[in-house]
């Protein structure tokens, strides 16, 4: 089994009415992906779904200058001084042709504030897979063909792949519970 690891990070800022992020209550990063076999290898496409509860302070002022690399999260669900947000980061991983049965995990997801109005999410990605054994027939015995060194590359997504990503997003739970009520005791007049 081959295993590759790497770190990822996304940096966010929020509308002024939310305030400045000052602390982290929780953060999770969940990978969702599909596999596609090509002649060049095995491609995993999907998203990393980020969900975080962040503490905000409306009294602290945000730094005037923010880098272009920061992402504005304008949809923050505020409950007092705690805000909840979700964000999807594209996931594109190319594995070698001999890769089979990939398993993708995210570990050590952490959030950090910089005191200037930004919030960073850092997580590690672990991709493990088995290598397919290719046999070549020879007159007297079978011989194993030389294996290729595993590699991982991150790429951009196409629009057809986004349909699967959106389907994955709609299946995620958002931490909000719902309650169903029976309406049997309510009289409804129907028109004929």
Name which of 31-45, 72-86, 153-167 the model is least confident about.
153-167
pLDDT at 184 over 70: no
Confidence category of residue 64, pLDDT binned at 50, 70, 90: low
Residue 83 forms part of a structural domain: yes
Residue 177 forms part of a structural domain: no
Q: Where are the alpha helices (DSSP H) in the chain?
A: 159-171
User: Six-digit token pair at 87?
Assistant: 């964000």
**Residue 83 bridge partners (DSSP):** 54, 78
Confidence category of residue 152, pLDDT binned at 50, 70, 90: very low
Residue 192 forms part of a structural domain: no
Residue 75 forms part of a structural domain: yes
Structural domain harbouring 94: 2-171
Residue 188 forms part of a structural domain: no
Distance CA 143, CA 140 (A): 10
pLDDT of residue 20: 87
Residue 126 forms part of a structural domain: yes
DSSP collapsed to 3 states, 110-163: EEEECCCCEEEEEEEEEEEEEECCCEEECCCCEEECCCCCCCCECCCCCHHHHH
Q: How many domains does the chain have?
A: 1
pLDDT of residue 47: 95
Distance of CA 25 to the CA centre of its chain: 19
Higher pLDDT, 54 or 136: 54
Distance CA 147, CA 1 (A): 13
Residue 181 forms part of a structural domain: no
Distance CA 55, CA 83 (A): 6
Per-residue pLDDT reduced to its tens digit, 6-38: 999 999 988 888 888 888 999 999 999 999 998
Residue 180 forms part of a structural domain: no
């Amino acid at each position: 089994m081959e295993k590759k690891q790497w770190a990822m990070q996304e940096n966010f800022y929020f509308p002024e009415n939310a305030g400045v992020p000052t602390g982290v209550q929780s953060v999770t990063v969940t990978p969702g992906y599909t596999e596609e076999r090509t002649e060049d290898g095995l491609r995993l496409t999907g998203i990393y779904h980020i969900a975080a509860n962040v503490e905000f302070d409306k009294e602290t002022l945000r730094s005037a200058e923010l880098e272009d690399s920061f992402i504005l999260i304008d949809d923050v669900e505020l409950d007092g001084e705690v805000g909840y947000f979700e964000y999807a980061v594209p996931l594109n991983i190319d594995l070698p042709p001999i890769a089979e049965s990939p398993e993708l995990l995210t570990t050590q997801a952490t959030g950090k504030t910089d005191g200037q109005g930004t919030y960073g999410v850092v997580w590690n990605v672990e991709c493990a897979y088995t290598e397919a054994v290719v046999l070549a027939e020879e007159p007297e015995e079978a011989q194993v063909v030389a294996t290729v060194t595993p590699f991982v590359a991150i790429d951009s997504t196409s629009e057809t792949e986004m349909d699967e990503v959106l389907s994955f997003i709609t299946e995620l739970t958002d931490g909000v519970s719902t309650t169903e009520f029976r309406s049997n005791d309510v009289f409804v007049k129907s028109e004929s």
